[in-house]
Amino acid sequence: MTSAAGTKLTAQDFKKLAREFRVDIIKMISEAGSGHPGGSLSAIDFLTVLYFGGHLRVDPERPDDPGRDRFILSKGHCVPALYCVLAHRGFFPASELMTLRKFGSRLQGHPDKRRLPCLEANTGSLGQGLSIAVGMALAAKLDVAPWRVVCMTGDGELQEGQNWEAAMSAPKFRLDNLLWVVDFNQVQQEGTTKQQMDLEPIRAKIEAFNWQVQDIDGHDHAAIDQALTRAEEGRGKPQAIILRTIKGKGVSWMELQPAWHGKAPKKDEAEKAIKEILAGGE
């Protein structure tokens, strides 16, 4: 495992970074008084490895580099996790994190590329990100450009039919420069995904659309690192990784609780959550 700066990282290094980012997520959302902690906490392990493991060719000094890889956070309400990794990778000052959702802030509650140009797309209307990513990946193919596109969706989000139109298109155009990541955290706004609209067997469904699919523990940093490497080496088919995660991961009383989909912890709850995270509860 190698960081973006070329420094070798271990799974323990990633775990430490992800713990720090979980603390930031809780602080940001508590300070804002609104936000989505559950899905941010489930996604942060993957984002940590993606941005700090050398898997995404991006340069904070040249955020508009035409040759950069693109990352689309389709589940845009979980952008606190993305803001954390972007800030700590140097795309903007970490001091801005506590301005989340405040009037005039660049850090809106959903990604807003007009305010923060290092983002690749405005997202938050669920179900649209994979279509955006397919279009970008196709553009790269047409331009014979080497850059890749990574798109993260949620699991409940896949109940939107537009995802499956995009999933059908990518293999037709042999978009092996596209990686679709599913944060399968088991819970959506009003209950479990199984209760609302069961997606299983999710791996078989995506494979049936002619994608190459990996199905892994989305909190195992070594497994994430290995899966990203395998996806980068894939040829001829679009790539997909299903992350088996826990919504609210790291805070025991938030885990798999629909109430914490979009509720900000009060000050005392934030202090309690941070204490548990720092104690190694993630």
Complete domains list, the chain, with CATH? 11-278 (3.40.50.970)
Handedness of CA 107, 110, 115, 118 (dihedral sign): positive
Does residue 282 have a pLDDT over 70?
no
Does residue 247 have a pLDDT over 80?
yes
Tell me the pLDDT band of 80, cut-offs 50, 70 and 90. Answer: very high
How confident is the model over 24-53, as a mean pLDDT?
Answer: 98
Does residue 6 have a pLDDT over 70?
no
Name the residue among 58, 115, 124 with its Cα closest to residue 91: 58
